[in-house]
Amino acid sequence: MIYVTGDVHADLGRFKGKAAKKLKKGDTLIVCGDFGFVWDGSKKEQRVLKWLGRRRYSVLFVEGTHDNLDLLAGYPVVDFCGGKARQISGKCHQLLRGEIYTIESDEIFAFGGGESSDSDARVPGVSWWLGELPDAEELAHARENLAARGNVVDYIITHSASNTVNGFLNMDGDHVNQLEAFLDEVSQTVRYKHWFFGSIHLDKVIPPMYHAVYQEILPLKGMK
Protein backbone atom coordinates (compact mmCIF):
# COMPACT_ATOMS: atom_id res chain seq x y z
CA MET A 1 0.00 0.00 0.00
CA ILE A 2 0.94 3.63 -0.43
CA TYR A 3 0.85 6.00 2.55
CA VAL A 4 1.30 9.75 2.86
CA THR A 5 2.54 11.93 5.71
CA GLY A 6 3.50 15.57 6.18
CA ASP A 7 6.55 17.59 7.15
CA VAL A 8 9.03 15.47 9.10
CA HIS A 9 11.73 18.08 9.80
CA ALA A 10 14.35 15.37 10.44
CA ASP A 11 12.32 13.81 13.26
CA LEU A 12 12.88 10.04 13.25
CA GLY A 13 9.96 9.65 15.63
CA ARG A 14 7.60 9.66 12.63
CA PHE A 15 9.31 6.50 11.39
CA LYS A 16 9.39 4.81 14.79
CA GLY A 17 5.82 5.47 15.91
CA LYS A 18 2.88 3.07 15.97
CA ALA A 19 1.54 4.11 12.57
CA ALA A 20 4.88 3.58 10.82
CA LYS A 21 5.36 0.22 12.48
CA LYS A 22 2.22 -1.01 10.71
CA LEU A 23 3.78 -0.48 7.29
CA LYS A 24 4.70 -3.74 5.63
CA LYS A 25 7.40 -4.96 3.28
CA GLY A 26 6.81 -3.46 -0.14
CA ASP A 27 4.73 -0.53 1.11
CA THR A 28 5.55 3.07 0.22
CA LEU A 29 5.55 6.13 2.48
CA ILE A 30 5.56 9.55 0.76
CA VAL A 31 6.56 12.66 2.72
CA CYS A 32 4.98 15.92 1.49
CA GLY A 33 8.05 18.12 1.87
CA ASP A 34 10.35 19.38 4.62
CA PHE A 35 11.95 15.96 4.86
CA GLY A 36 14.88 17.57 6.66
CA PHE A 37 17.27 14.63 6.69
CA VAL A 38 19.39 16.10 3.88
CA TRP A 39 20.66 19.22 5.60
CA ASP A 40 24.29 19.31 6.71
CA GLY A 41 25.92 16.25 5.16
CA SER A 42 27.29 15.11 8.51
CA LYS A 43 28.28 11.54 9.32
CA LYS A 44 25.32 11.33 11.69
CA GLU A 45 23.00 12.42 8.91
CA GLN A 46 24.48 9.82 6.56
CA ARG A 47 23.85 7.10 9.17
CA VAL A 48 20.23 8.21 9.49
CA LEU A 49 19.75 8.22 5.71
CA LYS A 50 21.23 4.74 5.48
CA TRP A 51 18.79 3.60 8.18
CA LEU A 52 15.86 5.12 6.28
CA GLY A 53 16.97 3.47 3.03
CA ARG A 54 16.93 0.09 4.72
CA ARG A 55 13.32 0.20 5.93
CA ARG A 56 11.09 -2.65 4.83
CA TYR A 57 9.06 -0.02 2.97
CA SER A 58 10.16 2.66 0.51
CA VAL A 59 10.58 6.25 1.76
CA LEU A 60 9.86 8.91 -0.87
CA PHE A 61 9.66 12.66 -0.48
CA VAL A 62 9.26 15.94 -2.31
CA GLU A 63 11.42 18.80 -1.09
CA GLY A 64 10.00 21.65 0.95
CA THR A 65 11.51 24.84 2.33
CA HIS A 66 13.65 23.09 4.96
CA ASP A 67 15.73 20.86 2.72
CA ASN A 68 19.26 21.59 1.52
CA LEU A 69 18.82 21.94 -2.23
CA ASP A 70 22.57 22.07 -2.88
CA LEU A 71 23.15 18.74 -1.14
CA LEU A 72 20.13 17.16 -2.80
CA ALA A 73 21.48 18.16 -6.21
CA GLY A 74 24.57 16.06 -5.53
CA TYR A 75 22.66 12.78 -5.39
CA PRO A 76 22.35 10.70 -8.56
CA VAL A 77 19.25 10.98 -10.73
CA VAL A 78 17.91 7.53 -11.60
CA ASP A 79 14.99 6.01 -13.46
CA PHE A 80 12.27 5.34 -10.93
CA CYS A 81 8.72 4.06 -11.40
CA GLY A 82 8.37 5.58 -14.86
CA GLY A 83 9.93 8.92 -13.97
CA LYS A 84 13.17 10.41 -12.70
CA ALA A 85 14.12 10.58 -9.03
CA ARG A 86 17.19 11.15 -6.89
CA GLN A 87 18.33 8.08 -5.02
CA ILE A 88 19.31 9.23 -1.55
CA SER A 89 20.01 5.86 0.05
CA GLY A 90 18.70 2.39 -0.73
CA LYS A 91 14.91 2.63 -0.96
CA CYS A 92 14.85 6.34 -0.06
CA HIS A 93 14.30 8.66 -3.04
CA GLN A 94 13.50 12.30 -3.70
CA LEU A 95 10.61 12.71 -6.15
CA LEU A 96 11.50 15.42 -8.66
CA ARG A 97 9.44 18.41 -9.71
CA GLY A 98 6.99 17.73 -12.49
CA GLU A 99 7.61 14.00 -12.69
CA ILE A 100 4.81 11.42 -12.85
CA TYR A 101 5.38 8.04 -11.21
CA THR A 102 3.49 4.77 -11.53
CA ILE A 103 3.41 3.17 -8.09
CA GLU A 104 1.17 0.16 -7.51
CA SER A 105 -0.66 1.03 -10.75
CA ASP A 106 -1.45 4.57 -9.54
CA GLU A 107 -0.22 7.61 -11.50
CA ILE A 108 1.24 10.14 -9.05
CA PHE A 109 2.25 13.67 -10.05
CA ALA A 110 4.85 15.22 -7.75
CA PHE A 111 5.99 18.80 -7.39
CA GLY A 112 8.07 19.95 -4.44
CA GLY A 113 9.20 23.39 -3.40
CA GLY A 114 7.67 26.36 -1.65
CA GLU A 115 8.31 29.88 -0.44
CA SER A 116 9.93 30.45 2.96
CA SER A 117 8.04 33.00 5.03
CA ASP A 118 11.17 33.64 7.10
CA SER A 119 13.74 33.92 4.29
CA ASP A 120 14.97 37.29 5.63
CA ALA A 121 16.18 35.51 8.77
CA ARG A 122 18.00 32.74 6.91
CA VAL A 123 21.43 32.57 5.30
CA PRO A 124 21.56 32.04 1.52
CA GLY A 125 23.22 28.75 0.65
CA VAL A 126 23.22 27.67 4.29
CA SER A 127 19.61 27.69 5.46
CA TRP A 128 17.81 29.16 2.44
CA TRP A 129 18.04 28.48 -1.30
CA LEU A 130 16.89 30.55 -4.25
CA GLY A 131 15.73 27.39 -6.00
CA GLU A 132 13.00 26.75 -3.44
CA LEU A 133 10.61 28.19 -6.05
CA PRO A 134 10.48 26.62 -9.53
CA ASP A 135 11.87 28.26 -12.63
CA ALA A 136 10.19 28.44 -16.03
CA GLU A 137 11.95 25.30 -17.26
CA GLU A 138 10.65 23.20 -14.36
CA LEU A 139 7.11 24.49 -14.87
CA ALA A 140 7.29 23.75 -18.61
CA HIS A 141 8.59 20.23 -17.87
CA ALA A 142 5.63 19.59 -15.56
CA ARG A 143 3.11 20.86 -18.13
CA GLU A 144 4.70 18.67 -20.81
CA ASN A 145 4.54 15.55 -18.65
CA LEU A 146 0.93 16.20 -17.67
CA ALA A 147 -0.06 16.84 -21.29
CA ALA A 148 1.55 13.54 -22.30
CA ARG A 149 -0.85 11.83 -19.87
CA GLY A 150 -3.83 13.72 -21.25
CA ASN A 151 -3.83 15.86 -18.08
CA VAL A 152 -5.12 12.91 -16.07
CA VAL A 153 -3.39 11.40 -13.02
CA ASP A 154 -4.63 9.56 -9.96
CA TYR A 155 -2.97 11.55 -7.17
CA ILE A 156 -1.03 14.78 -6.69
CA ILE A 157 1.71 15.20 -4.08
CA THR A 158 3.09 18.67 -3.30
CA HIS A 159 4.62 20.54 -0.40
CA SER A 160 2.78 23.79 -1.06
CA ALA A 161 -0.92 24.31 -1.56
CA SER A 162 -2.40 26.20 -4.46
CA ASN A 163 -3.22 29.87 -4.06
CA THR A 164 -6.94 29.07 -3.98
CA VAL A 165 -6.51 26.58 -1.13
CA ASN A 166 -4.28 29.02 0.75
CA GLY A 167 -6.99 31.62 0.45
CA PHE A 168 -9.57 29.17 1.77
CA LEU A 169 -7.31 28.52 4.75
CA ASN A 170 -6.68 32.25 5.29
CA MET A 171 -2.99 31.69 4.51
CA ASP A 172 -2.18 35.00 2.80
CA GLY A 173 -4.10 34.29 -0.38
CA ASP A 174 -3.36 37.83 -1.60
CA HIS A 175 0.33 36.98 -2.08
CA VAL A 176 0.81 34.72 -5.09
CA ASN A 177 4.14 33.27 -6.18
CA GLN A 178 4.77 31.36 -9.41
CA LEU A 179 4.42 27.97 -7.72
CA GLU A 180 1.06 28.71 -6.14
CA ALA A 181 -0.20 30.14 -9.44
CA PHE A 182 0.98 27.01 -11.26
CA LEU A 183 -0.75 24.76 -8.73
CA ASP A 184 -3.95 26.73 -9.29
CA GLU A 185 -3.51 26.03 -12.99
CA VAL A 186 -3.05 22.31 -12.29
CA SER A 187 -6.18 22.21 -10.15
CA GLN A 188 -8.19 23.66 -13.04
CA THR A 189 -6.72 21.69 -15.94
CA VAL A 190 -5.84 18.26 -14.53
CA ARG A 191 -8.22 15.48 -13.55
CA TYR A 192 -7.20 13.69 -10.34
CA LYS A 193 -8.74 11.76 -7.45
CA HIS A 194 -7.04 13.44 -4.50
CA TRP A 195 -4.34 16.01 -3.73
CA PHE A 196 -2.07 15.81 -0.67
CA PHE A 197 0.17 18.65 0.52
CA GLY A 198 2.22 19.56 3.60
CA SER A 199 3.68 22.92 4.62
CA ILE A 200 0.93 24.28 6.90
CA HIS A 201 1.46 21.84 9.81
CA LEU A 202 -2.16 20.74 9.95
CA ASP A 203 -3.95 17.44 9.41
CA LYS A 204 -7.06 18.71 7.68
CA VAL A 205 -9.47 17.60 4.97
CA ILE A 206 -10.39 20.39 2.55
CA PRO A 207 -13.38 19.25 0.49
CA PRO A 208 -13.75 17.96 -2.03
CA MET A 209 -10.30 16.64 -3.04
CA TYR A 210 -7.58 18.22 -0.90
CA HIS A 211 -5.88 16.95 2.24
CA ALA A 212 -3.32 18.82 4.30
CA VAL A 213 -1.10 16.27 6.04
CA TYR A 214 1.25 16.77 8.94
CA GLN A 215 1.70 14.16 11.65
CA GLU A 216 -0.76 11.56 10.44
CA ILE A 217 0.24 8.67 8.21
CA LEU A 218 -2.66 8.16 5.82
CA PRO A 219 -3.41 5.53 3.18
CA LEU A 220 -3.37 7.12 -0.26
CA LYS A 221 -6.32 5.13 -1.55
CA GLY A 222 -8.37 5.53 1.60
CA MET A 223 -9.25 9.12 0.77
CA LYS A 224 -12.38 10.00 -1.18
Determine contact, residues 132/115, Cβ cutoff 8 Å. yes
Q: Which of 113, 126, 96, 131 is nearest to 180 (CA)?
A: 113
pTM (2 decimals)?
0.94
3: confidence class by pLDDT, cuts 50, 70, 90 = very high
Per-residue CA distances from 66 to 3, 40, 79 (Å): 21, 11, 25
- 3-state SS, residue 69: helix
CATH number for the domain whose boundaries are 2-222: 3.60.21
The span from the CA of 170 to the CA of 43, in Å, is 41
**Residue 224: pLDDT over 60:** no
Domain boundaries, the chain: 2-222
Mean pLDDT (the chain) is: 93
Q: Which of 224, 223, 222, 215 is nearest to 13 (CA)?
A: 215
- Alpha carbon dihedral 13, 74, 160, 45, in 10-degree steps, equals 10
**Residue 31: pLDDT over 90:** yes
Q: Which of 3-7, 27-31, 44-48, 207-211 has the lowest mean pLDDT?
A: 207-211
Tens digits of per-residue pLDDT, 129-182? Answer: 678 899 999 999 999 999 999 999 999 999 999 998 988 887 665 678 999 999
